[in-house]
Amino acid sequence: MAKRAADFSEQESDVIKNGDRPMEIDQNEVGEFEDEFEDEFESEDEIMEAGVDGRPDDEREAEERENAMDVDQNIFIPGRHKLAAGETLAPDPSTYEMLHTLEAPWPCLSCDIIPDSLGSDRKNYPATVYAVAGTQAARGRDKENQLMVMKMSSLSRMERNEEEEDSDSDDEASDPILETRTIPMTSCTNRIRAHQLPQTTSGKAPTTLTASMTESGQVLIHDITQHLVSFDTPGTVITPAQNKPVSTIRAHKTNEGYAVDWSPMVPEGKLITGDVAGNIFATTRTQGGGWVTDTTPYTGHQGTIEELQWSPSEKHVFSSASNDGSVKIWDARSKSRKAAISMQVSKTDVNVLSWSHQTSHLLASGADDGEWAVWDLRQWKPLTSMSNEKKPSPVASFTFHKEQITAVEWHPTDDSIVLVCAGDNTLSLWDLAVELDDEESRDTAGVQDVPPQLLFVHYMDQIKEAHWHPQIPGAVMATGGSGFGVFKTISV
């Protein structure tokens, strides 16, 4: 997984808006009707053959061609075209329901959203988001790295026309507020993931843990419960001891790592971590709150472990991706520590994976050549039975992005919606429910190489990672070289 140097150039966002495709009327579906007044006509010559609007088809079609929309084939596409000197990109406010940017002291390669107690399916504004991120300080300033626990509030809705305003709405236009609680780190955080234990007492905040995969090879586990409580409970004191990790995983030795994931099926806490040597280790939290790492690694990849993802529905199953171009499916109970299924999915590095939460046999992958794909795991066979069978093809694949894919994530409640981040400074939203008709072009509105499944393109400088908010439908948080972005489009 390529890293990005700290770069604070300011860019603005741009979007693509796709128009509705006109539906053609099938003339074969126009039925024949009996005219109860046909005896009133003196001859058949008085009946004029006409199309659906009363005119001959040739005349109507000629007028449609003359008035057809002239599509600009040179339309600017973020990530595909370069700005000229002095040009900047500006977002179209009408395409966003919410759009905010917040600065960080250093760029963050990774972030994660923290579940909160403000309710599910939230649609009121201003919105509030709790999150965590790890910084990438400049070379030689490693001791300035931080684990940032954040509360983003006053995230207001985009300004609307007066006639669209709801008199009963409590929306208020205001500047976003970013509050932070920082934990000192001595190494860059390559990947961070949060896990929240079930709430045991209504009056007590649930325990929230983070796992930070660092450049030094150590995996640091922190309890950030008190840091989150301090945002909403005045007078809360965070002691130096609470800033220290509750556990440090040293199984990777000095091997740098990029991959970490908590199991959604183990409430008390279990995580897997992967490194550049191709080793994957499992760590489990005990009932007493201690941590045990199995020192026998899962092995089989011939390169760096770029991504790890637990199955959302099977407790002992996880997937891995590597720069050897393969994706593997593992049974964590295997005594051999070898993969059950392996598939070569790319000729380049496979950087990221995402397992569908709604349809658990669908797995999305993103590679270094800019291609991302969706795979049906029911078509993947165990290693022992694949030798004489044809390699499965992806259910869908797209090459719209021309730079490395840095993040891919399924929508938490809609298994047709996917977000994708790429090295071309863009985040794209896709609707896989859009299907191509036999006579339909593979382009959108006549613009070349823009698939109809593409819903939206959001521009963000050096964007690295993004996540859907599980409690605010359609809301996305992203991190990149220019800080953090929180937005919601009108498309999702």
Type and span of the H or E element at 27: none
Over the stretch 175-194, which tens digit does the pLDDT of each residue have?
Answer: 899 999 999 999 999 999 99
Residue type, 348: T
pLDDT of residue 352: 98
Low-confidence ranges of the chain (pLDDT < 50): 4-49, 69, 71, 163, 165, 167-169, 386, 438-439, 441
Which alpha helices (DSSP H) does 99-192 contain, by range?
Answer: none
pLDDT of residue 81: 77
Helix (H/G/I), strand (E/B), else coil: 71: coil
Pairing verdict, β 127-135 and 108-114:
antiparallel
Type and span of the H or E element at 231: helix 225-232
Q: How many CA atoms lie within 13 A of 118 on its CB side?
A: 20
Contact by Cβ (8 Å): 364, 411 = no
Contact by Cβ (8 Å): 115, 465 = no
Distance CA(200)–CA(207), nearest Å, equals 9
Type and span of the H or E element at 64: helix 57-66
pTM confidence score: 0.82
**What is the biggest distance separating any 2 CA atoms in the chain, rounded to whole angstroms?**
101
Over the stretch 229-248, which tens digit does the pLDDT of each residue have?
Answer: 999 999 999 999 999 999 99
Nearest 5 degrees, angle CA 48-CA 54-CA 57? 85
pLDDT of residue 44: 47
Answer left, alpha or beta for residue 215, where phi above 0 means left and psi between -120 and 50 means alpha. Answer: alpha
Q: Phi and psi of 130, rounded to 5°?
A: -105, 140
Which numeric CATH code is attached to 97-159+175-384+391-489?
Answer: 2.130.10.10
Q: What is the DSSP letter of 84?
A: P
pLDDT of residue 97: 96
Distance CA(460)–CA(483), nearest Å, equals 9
250 to 220, 247, 491: CA distances (angstroms): 9, 10, 44
Contact by Cβ (8 Å): 413, 367 = no
The residue behind tokens 């900047």 is 88
pLDDT of residue 80: 73
Kindly give, in sequence order, each residue whose CB lies less than 8 Å from that of residue 385, ignoring residues fewer than 6 positions away: none
pLDDT of residue 66: 63
Q: Phi and psi of 296, rounded to 5°?
A: -90, 115
245 to 52, 183, 219: CA distances (angstroms): 73, 9, 10
Helix (H/G/I), strand (E/B), else coil: 154: strand
Helix (H/G/I), strand (E/B), else coil: 232: helix
Which alpha helices (DSSP H) does 373-485 contain, by range?
Answer: none
Distance CA(300)–CA(43), nearest Å, equals 85
pLDDT of residue 89: 81
3-class secondary structure per residue, 311-367 = CCCCCCEEEEEECCCEEEEEECCCCCCCCCEEEECCCCCEEEEEECCCCCCEEEEEE
pLDDT of residue 6: 42
